[in-house]
Amino acid sequence: MRTATIVLVAYVMCVVMAAVWRFMPGFLHDAIPGIGPLTAAYLGYTLRPFRAPSTAGVVVLGYLIDVVSGTPPGLTSLVLAITAEIARATQQRIFVRGASMTIAFSGFIALISTLASWLLRAIFHGLPTGTAKLELQHAALVVIATALVGPIVWRVFRRIDAAYARTHREREAALEGLVP
């Protein structure tokens, strides 16, 4: 139930962000923040004893993002699954607490997911890619936008985790960002 709630909230955030972000002034209006990769990282980072629910949630969210954004079906699902696994692999080594660490980790996740998407599109020859300069410029803008939005998104997900906590101790740990 927790994973389904996070996926639903993330999907709504993706739709709203995609609709509103293009009205941003300045150079960031073309680079929509990666809410999907942040969700995948959060689900991978807060992985419970079983891997299947978070992986299924990430794949479903990826498919929903594919439907809304017009990317080839399955591309975002695969990218988000890779992102969740990378976040799961790093969960033992870092603590995503505090604003600066959350911003840095959000930027790292955005960079990994953008590069994974670019590599997958390059491997499958039928998918369009831009020039390397254009792709790297867009990746840099997405990393900046995602790093700016990351702490807000993670705070929302922590509130959802706190709502599903069974004890007061679990609730406090979820709000602080401690991995259960």
pLDDT > 70? residue 25: yes
Mean pLDDT along residues 148-154 = 90
Mean pLDDT along residues 34-38 = 90
Residue 44 in tokens: 């991978």
Over residues 92-149, the pLDDT tens digits come to 556 667 788 888 888 888 998 988 888 888 787 666 667 778 878 888 888 998 998 9
Q: pTM of the entire structure?
A: 0.85
Total number of domains in the chain = 1
Torsion angle of C-alpha atoms 166, 96, 108, 150, degrees rounded to 10: 70
The predicted pLDDT at position 37 comes to: 92
The predicted pLDDT at position 60 comes to: 93
Between CA 50 and CA 87 the distance in angstroms is: 15
Over residues 53-95, the pLDDT tens digits come to 888 999 999 999 988 888 888 888 989 998 888 888 876 556 6
The predicted pLDDT at position 9 comes to: 93
The predicted pLDDT at position 61 comes to: 92
What domain range is 45 assigned to? 2-21+29-176
